[in-house]
Each structure stands twice: as structure tokens, then as C-alpha cells.
């Protein structure tokens, strides 16, 4: 379930980035960070891991 929820959030972040809504993309990333999920952008797409 965790994978699915994080994937959903990352899809929303990618959509925000695609429409150049960087404030929304940053807010999603910040919320994930607050929840203990670190996100790394790579050429193949975002990679995440639990940081807690």
C-alpha cells in the first residue's frame, strides 16, 4: 500500500512539473520529506526511499 500511495504522490508531482507548476511540485516533495520519504530526481524519473 505504501508503494502505491507514494507512487500516486510522485505522479502528481510529475504532472505539476510538466505544467511548470514548480510551487506545487515542491510542496508535494516537502510533504513527502516530512513523512519520511526522500525523493531523488534521476534521468529515469524520481527514485524514493524511506528515510526514517
Return the domain boundaries, the chain.
2-42
From residue 9, how far is each of 2, 34, 52 by CA, in Å?
11, 13, 18
**Mind listing the pLDDT tens digit for each residue in 1-52?**
789 999 999 999 999 999 999 999 999 999 999 999 999 999 999 999 998 6
Q: pTM for the complete prediction?
A: 0.87
Query: What pLDDT sits at residue 52?
Result: 64
**pLDDT attached to residue 1:** 79
Q: List, in sequence order, every beta strand (DSSP E) within 1-52.
A: 37-42, 45-50
Distance CA 3, CA 23 (A): 24
Is the separation of the CB atoms in 21 and 7 below 8 Å?
no
The per-residue pLDDT for 13 is 97
Amino acid at each position: 500500500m505504501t508503494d502505491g500511495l507514494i507512487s500516486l504522490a510522485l505522479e502528481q508531482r510529475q504532472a505539476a512539473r510538466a505544467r511548470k507548476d514548480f510551487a506545487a511540485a515542491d510542496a508535494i516533495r516537502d510533504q513527502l520529506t516530512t513523512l519520511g520519504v526522500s525523493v531523488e530526481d534521476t534521468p529515469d524519473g524520481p527514485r524514493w526511499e524511506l528515510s526514517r
